[in-house]
Structure 1
């Protein structure tokens, strides 16, 4: 662990004075490329297929940009607008051009970088703050300091590559008029952006640190690692998303941004979408520190959590490599993104050369054009690649791993994947969705998490920024597959309250691939109410595919209305209950997300087991839920009170119980059969569940019977509600028949009880 002490600061200050007196004597390049690495790359060129192919692609891209000429327009646009996208394109191309200069030793790339840098030097020294005012920390080149930091992270790499190509006078001019003012602006002039624990600040820390490493500026390096000593920010200040900028006693800087958001398992509290985004600055700055300041042992910090986090992140993806959309997350983001190319290559090179990472790199079809990319390319060439094995996993949340977590249950080769979220709030990008889950079959969503309400970098939709519906819908509890009490979101949708609490794991057991179970409790989302949810992924004889058993036990000190939604994708096939369809649509409610749900139908159970079936991607799916005569069944669709069509028109089913204090919701979700539009044959289109019944439901035990529709056989799932110890023996009598088992649950097959 690296400690921040007066002694450390003294030696860093002395180092700064020596650098000032003697000039920057370190080798260049030294951040992501090294002189030794460049020599190795040149020696292997033409004999490393994936590296060679990447190089040719990058060369063609940069050559095309050089032919177009340099454009550094006066900034004016939000994300997606021309000036925003042009400056973004510029920093990406600058970094690539710098690398090409080093690898190909062609001065045209160095000259291009030089010319572009001096264009920015001339632009930046008199550039005002960006004219768009939406951000809590406005940039200069971009509408927010976050994007300015993106620019400096990439451009620092380009500068490192052409450092020796430039004269001492040219370097001095760039550093005086561009790089040092740029670093100061995004840090000391915007401490509300820079001096916090958040993915924004990680980019800022890396930007300041990386340009500091190239310049040999010890003050900037220290500022990057530890933050600003006295930032003048009041405790409790917030950003535009309602997230805390400053929390009492919280440290800042790059090391704090490793220590706080990452759990020991490598889970990043903001969720996989933002973990993917932050992995680039985390890992390229770490690589630069490793190369220039090896004494910091950055890849060993917090027991090597940065390298661990790559494995955690890859495990938070579906069969298509798309990340589970927990918290604010755009669906479709995957490990094919440029950030994950960086993450996989660096994790392979600086980790233990895990051969499974090579198969991900092969899927990505490209590598970094640096030392780590060479290592991956050589590993692939030498046939070391092994398939990446994604298994069931339970990842703790919080700095100590004890603030809840995320569990992923997988059957087979992702034939069925269940994602259970019982995590902490997730900073300002968190949603109010305690004990929610989503379900996948291969890459097909069966029950979905909505994700975010934003069209990233599409200017027509709010300048590419978060839409108001992200707050009014996507973050609200009713937008998720979890319990809503009295049409009010968890913690009343208050970030200050939600940030103080997390759910508690009850148990996780994936030791038997045919019966995998996870459970957790939440007792703070609604004061006086405890939610205890247990999810089992079961593969049993008589059922074509694995199915999910969902048991949600609610106990409260008052009577409430409970809503349990299920959001599915596809076309409704049939329902075994009667319902009415209104002549004109009305929203289901007036606030907390309910205003965005059209009430398309209302029904009432006519059996103890209510079923709804739908067809999606050639498969049939059925939700079976145990119901009572007073339950209400609501068919809903997202999109009410949405005049700009910012929300998807997806369907949902809500089970409602009114005037109820204690209750248990029990459901089964199954995949079955298939339909081919080519042959026009449907196979096994009906559910295998004949009846779903709650046999026992006390404070100590719950027992559920699942009857097979074809042969009448029953699966009996029994669990302890109060003791989750794996070695504890339990005894339960059901209809005069006794059952004994060890551990928190047991599944048995029976013809009677």
Structure 2
């Protein structure tokens, strides 16, 4: 560890402000000392995504004393045999690696040479056996492992081992260092180099970070550069894999931070050396970008293969590093929010926003304790919401706004292809007009995710663990998203685009587009897509164009979709609601075939014909969502019960189907208005949401809406390359 970083670590460890972090480290180090696992010559791990219950998607309970019995904490079923036993082995070694990192750091702080003996013994045991472990693994689309079943897991584990070694290095004899170098670090480096991925990918970031760390510790420049330089090396991943606005190209915030974590592990290890990366402009952009997309409830949207919700509490360790390195006051604001240090929002009151509903609330497990390793290594004082360093940069496109203002404000980026629209009630809409993002993409261009505060209305649920059938069977497909499917098929790769965004005095709106016209998508030549990861139907979408205009006002969301098809196709506009239809008495049971995915994913189907101005009411988890609909062509409405995330829950899916599309152009218009329980208790409900669609001069449409006793009218001319939308005063 760098001398300056060591000084700060020891200083923070002695500072009462970080007592919880030090206590947590000691708890973790005691657990590590108590691990009684004998490393042998026959270790052989398997994929941890197999360590999940197939019934409800819950991760199985790991128990050191039960390597052959694996209990689901939700349904209590005990799973035995493979692949669960070998997945347990992977978890055991992963925890052993992390545990040795914690124990070694604790020994460094406490100068505890005796306790470091456990770390030394584990490192020497690995050095005795590691080189002879058999290369194995058949995980889809991944390289093999030695101790583990994939190259990625090998990289994860060795990064922790690298830190464990670094922290106790001065307590080792020269002979012990040599044994660890030759028996563990070097053979692992050689293995990772052999199976380094030749594509832009989050796995490649982890693997190249690990190689570079091993080269640095071994003082072997050739190994170091094998990880750092060259095509698909770590620097190339940063330069080409991170978009211009700072988002990792794979399009999920969870994968953005997943890859960034390993990059930061390397950057921390080489801090204040000739290899220091802090001045690389992309690193700060990667901290900045997510701030604009934090929703009013403190979470980030789930997109693509996001298997858990990221919130500001989970982000806090990253921004401990960011605040130390760059001093941006917004990072301090995020930490204060995460740790519950802002008791009142004085800035909001001072800026005349006292009538703005206080949407911000930490939904669970919060406020977070300031107990991370990063707080010990990097923590800065957060008193009074100030930081001693001057802010060196601002979040792109946010000007001088505070983080709290950013949470409640629109953010749009053409580079990442994401637009967040927010109103004063805390409603938030995310529009996905992104570029195709490779293996982790869900083929859902122009998909929507709509919520109110922490209440999901119709959202992108991300996915579950990859070993759970619903992942590949449902979540990774177009039909599970709030977008359009042609002939029930998946959308082929294509790059979406933002055509325009406007902030008006009555709200804000965006127009987005995607075309399937044989144009190559941006990352086509930089990624590897196995045949099994290409389930789309090029023929179904050939020549299809999709345009979407979304408006968010104080009282409603307006969703307008224009589909252009070259010949007869079946068009399905999809909404997946986190609630249920309040009244289906006029609906009839249906056996309509909806998607090629299999009808077992779409249960309990009901249908009826759409009438102009059709009004539906949905009972949500909290409150009521109203919907009114109109279409330029005859529409069959179909509802179905579909899987939610986690998979032991369900949603109600609404399909607006135009069968045969005799017209080459079809226009759907849907308006939504939400009342929460507080609105209804206070009598502040929207009333009956109404929509009337007529024609204006020169063929433009006149849209007349009524919501919450407020009447709004717009004209829409959608004949040109961009929509022309104007409010009628």
Deviations 1:396-425 (A, max 9, x none): 3xxxx3xx611111223x711100001111
Q: 1:220: Cα distance to partner?
A: 1.4
Is residue 716 of structure 2 the alignment partner of residue 722 of structure 1?
no
Is residue 546 of structure 2 the alignment partner of residue 574 of structure 1?
no
Match of 2:116 in 1: 110
Deviations 1:251-309 (A, max 9, x none): 31101111222112111221212112112112222233443225x6x2333xx122212
Match of 2:410 in 1: 392
Is residue 706 of structure 2 the alignment partner of residue 704 of structure 1?
no
Answer yes or no: is the 8 Å Cα contact 1:633–1:655 preserved in 2: yes
Structure 2 stretches lacking a partner, 5+ long = 52-86, 340-366, 389-401, 518-540
Q: The residue matched to 2:92 in structure 1 has which SS?
A: helix
Q: 1:478: Cα distance to partner?
A: 1.5
Distance 1:522 1:647, change over 3 A: farther
Answer yes or no: is the 8 Å Cα contact 1:631–1:655 preserved in 2: yes
Match of 1:652 in 2: 653
Greater RCO, CA 8 A, separation 6+: 2
Distance 1:714 1:377, change over 3 A: closer
Q: The residue matched to 1:203 in structure 2 has which SS?
A: helix
| Separation in 2, partners of 1:670, 1:325 | 22
| Separation in 1, partners of 2:484, 2:633 | 20
Match of 1:561 in 2: 570
Instruction: State how many pairs are aligned.
Output: 620
Match of 2:440 in 1: 429
Alpha carbon RMSD of aligned pairs, Å? 3.1
Deviations 1:21-78 (A, max 9, x none): xxxxxxxx2xxxx2233233334544342x2211101101211331343543623443
Match of 2:485 in 1: 484
Q: 1:721: Cα distance to partner?
A: 5.2
Match of 2:60 in 1: none
Match of 1:522 in 2: 514
Match of 1:52 in 2: 19
Match of 1:334 in 2: 311
Question: Out of 667, 670, 678, which is 1:667 matched to?
Answer: 670
Is residue 597 of structure 2 the alignment partner of residue 597 of structure 1?
no
| Separation in 1, partners of 2:44, 2:505 | 55
Answer yes or no: is the 8 Å Cα contact 1:202–1:257 preserved in 2: yes
Q: 1:620: Cα distance to partner?
A: 0.9
Deviations 1:489-540 (A, max 9, x none): 212xxxxxx1xx301211122x44741111111111722221110111112x
| Separation in 2, partners of 1:477, 1:40 | 49
Q: The residue matched to 1:292 in structure 2 has which SS?
A: coil
| Separation in 2, partners of 1:202, 1:683 | 53
Residue correspondence of structure 1 range 9-408 to structure 2 within 5 A: 29=1, 34-49=2-17, 51-72=18-39, 74-79=43-48, 80=51, 81-130=87-136, 136-188=142-194, 190-191=195-196, 194-227=197-230, 251-270=231-250, 271-294=252-275, 298-301=277-280, 304-337=281-314, 340-354=315-329, 355-360=332-337, 362=339, 363-366=367-370, 368-369=372-373, 373-380=376-383, 384=387, 388=404, 389-390=406-407, 391-396=409-414, 401=415, 405-408=417-420
Is residue 556 of structure 2 the alignment partner of residue 550 of structure 1?
no
Match of 2:497 in 1: 504
Q: The residue matched to 1:624 in structure 2 has which SS?
A: strand
Answer yes or no: is the 8 Å Cα contact 1:620–1:685 preserved in 2: no
Answer yes or no: is the 8 Å Cα contact 1:279–1:343 preserved in 2: no
| Separation in 2, partners of 1:379, 1:683 | 41
Q: 1:710: Cα distance to partner?
A: 4.7
Q: 1:384: Cα distance to partner?
A: 4.1
Q: The residue matched to 1:38 in structure 2 has which SS?
A: helix
Deviations 1:550-577 (A, max 9, x none): 11112222232211111101232236x8
Structure 1 stretches lacking a partner, 5+ long = 1-28, 228-250, 456-464, 492-497, 540-545, 725-742
| Separation in 1, partners of 2:242, 2:292 | 15
Distance 1:108 1:626, change over 3 A: farther
Q: 1:134: Cα distance to partner?
A: 5.3
* TM-score normalised by length of structure 1: 0.76
Distance 1:222 1:46, change over 3 A: closer
Deviations 1:375-407 (A, max 9, x none): 4342458854975432321133xxxx3xx6111
Q: 1:629: Cα distance to partner?
A: 7.9
| Separation in 2, partners of 1:478, 1:549 | 21
| Separation in 2, partners of 1:709, 1:360 | 33
Q: The residue matched to 2:637 in structure 1 has which SS?
A: strand
Distance 1:319 1:142, change over 3 A: farther
